[in-house]
Amino acid sequence: MNSHPNAGRWDDVPLSPAPPIGDEYIELPESGWGGLVGWCAGPARLIRVPDQVEAHITTVTRSSPAGDEQYSRPRTYDEQAIADADINDYLHACGAPARPTGYRWFLRLPAGYSEDRLWSDLIGGLPSSAIHPADIAPRVDDIVRGIYADAGR
């Protein structure tokens, strides 16, 4: 994965002060999967925007003899650090470098693609036997390259 010709470095992803407007970009999920798709797409197809931890909401469920109680609150910095570490552990298992923390990541869709079609093509192209990140990463890389090659981008 580190030798991907379009990958470049995470620091090469353009920085924007605000999220892109319109349907050309989608926000990648805050997960190892979202990180992997971004890494395979490469920095020329990404934009990063500074993130605000307190803008994320955490839902807490408290169980007691009286029943379950749910409430929402802003995410803590410790919770964000755990999420970032999980993403970077997944990327490491894929053979990709750690992604810088403190950003939201947006992917430019290929021409003629919707977000639903992108995820459908990615998920549909994975064999059921691919479970470990090291097995998934090369296939995701092939699928992403094919999607963008077919779209002429």
The two structure tokens encoding residue 18: 């605000």
Q: What is the reported pLDDT for 60?
A: 87
**Cβ–Cβ under 8 Å, residues 43 and 16:** no
Q: What is the reported pLDDT for 3?
A: 45
> Domain map of the chain by residue range?
14-150
Phi and psi at residue 109, to the nearest 5°:
-70, 150
Burial class (CB within 10 angstroms; exposed 0-12, middle 13-18, buried 19+) of 73: exposed
Q: What is the reported pLDDT for 58?
A: 86
pTM of the predicted structure, to 2 decimals: 0.85
| List of the chain residues with pLDDT < 50 | 1-7, 153
State the DSSP string of 29-96. Answer: PSSHHHHHHHHHH-GGGEEEEE--GGGSEEEEEEEETTEEEEEEEEPPHHHHHHHHHHHHHHHHHHTP
42-85 pLDDT tens trace: 999 999 999 988 888 888 898 989 889 998 988 899 999 999 99
Q: What is the reported pLDDT for 94?
A: 94
Interstrand relation of 25-27 and 67-74 (parallel, antiparallel or unpaired): unpaired
Q: What is the reported pLDDT for 152?
A: 63
Q: What is the reported pLDDT for 146?
A: 93
Q: What is the reported pLDDT for 2?
A: 44
